[in-house]
Amino acid sequence: MHQTVGVRWNDLFDDLAGQFDAEHERARRLEAVEDERLRVARTTLRQRLAALQAALEPGECIDLELLSGDRLRAEPIEFGAEWFFARLPSVAGHYASVLVPLAGMGSVILTRSQLDRSLAPRPEAPESLTARLGFVMPLRDLARRRVHCELTTTLGVLRGTIDLVARDHLDLAVHDLDTPRRTPDVAAFRVVPLHEIRLVRVAGDVAN
């Protein structure tokens, strides 16, 4: 008799323990689903593109549609706070590198695999100095290097050398690609608000 009762109590305790484990696992899964939902909801476009760039295969590209109407097949190289550098593998010769302000993008066209990789959780890593730099910093670097650029703006395309970059605008000395930036050869000086820039094509490859 006592043995039978003991067995029944053991069965009861085992059943309660099983229910507790099942409820605990269910709660854990619900919490994980909610954490993932919140993580995705807080993700920015820049974070998704940077995550995708880290997961791209060598030579793999993404397609971009800009607000200017341009469509690019680009290989992202480096990300700042509100911009990224990319190569255009299909472009031969000049302007094979681009500086893309995120504000100038209309949409990103991805494959299913790229879409999934852009949302996949990745280990936390220390943020690089470049990742904290605003759009003015790469523009100032281009000005310092005296690199010939092609600026796509809301009003059209301008070509020349960036002379200086201020807080919200830049000065562009307009001249031909084959002509050095010399005052007698400058056709005009244009002051361009940064928010009007949709794309900067860069002569040569400076995205290293």
State the pLDDT confidence band at 2, using cuts at 50, 70 and 90: low
Determine the Cα–Cα distance for residues 48 and 119; give it in Å rounded to an integer.
Answer: 6
Model pTM?
A: 0.80
Query: Does residue 140 contact residue 146 with C-beta atoms inside 8 Å?
Result: no
Q: Which residues contact 123 (CB under 8 A, 6 or more apart)?
A: none
Determine the Cα–Cα distance for residues 166 and 139; give it in Å rounded to an integer.
Answer: 10
Mean pLDDT, residues 52-69 taken together? 94
CA-to-CA dists, residue 178 to 95, 158, 182, angstroms: 13, 15, 12
Q: Which residue has the higher pLDDT, 9 or 171?
A: 171
What pLDDT does 39 receive?
73
Structure-block tokens of residue 76: 């992202």
State the pLDDT confidence band at 5, using cuts at 50, 70 and 90: low
CA 131-136-141 angle, to 5 degrees, is 85
Q: Is the pLDDT of residue 13 over 70?
A: no
Determine the Cα–Cα distance for residues 196 and 168; give it in Å rounded to an integer.
Answer: 10
What pLDDT does 123 receive?
75
Q: Which residue has the higher pLDDT, 180 or 91?
A: 180
Query: Does residue 120 contact residue 55 with C-beta atoms inside 8 Å?
Result: yes
What pLDDT does 3 receive?
55
Q: Which residue has the higher pLDDT, 37 or 181?
A: 181
Please state whether beta strands 148-153 and 105-109 pair in parallel, antiparallel, or not at all (unpaired): unpaired
Cβ atoms within 10 Å, residue 180: 10
User: Could you state, in order of their start, the residue ranges of all structural domains in the chain?
Assistant: 1-42, 45-202
What pLDDT does 91 receive?
80
- 45-202 — its CATH code? 2.30.30.600
pLDDT digits (tens, 9 = 90+) for 98-145: 999 999 999 999 999 999 999 988 777 677 888 889 999 999 999 999
Structure-block tokens of residue 50: 């940077």
Determine the Cα–Cα distance for residues 96 and 94; give it in Å rounded to an integer.
Answer: 6
Determine the Cα–Cα distance for residues 165 and 103; give it in Å rounded to an integer.
Answer: 18
From 90-99, 104-113, 140-149, 180-189, the region with the lowest mean pLDDT: 90-99
Determine the Cα–Cα distance for residues 18 and 15; give it in Å rounded to an integer.
Answer: 5
What pLDDT does 28 receive?
72
Structure-block tokens of residue 189: 């000086």
Give the residue from 131, 94, 104 showing the smallest Cα distance to 193: 104
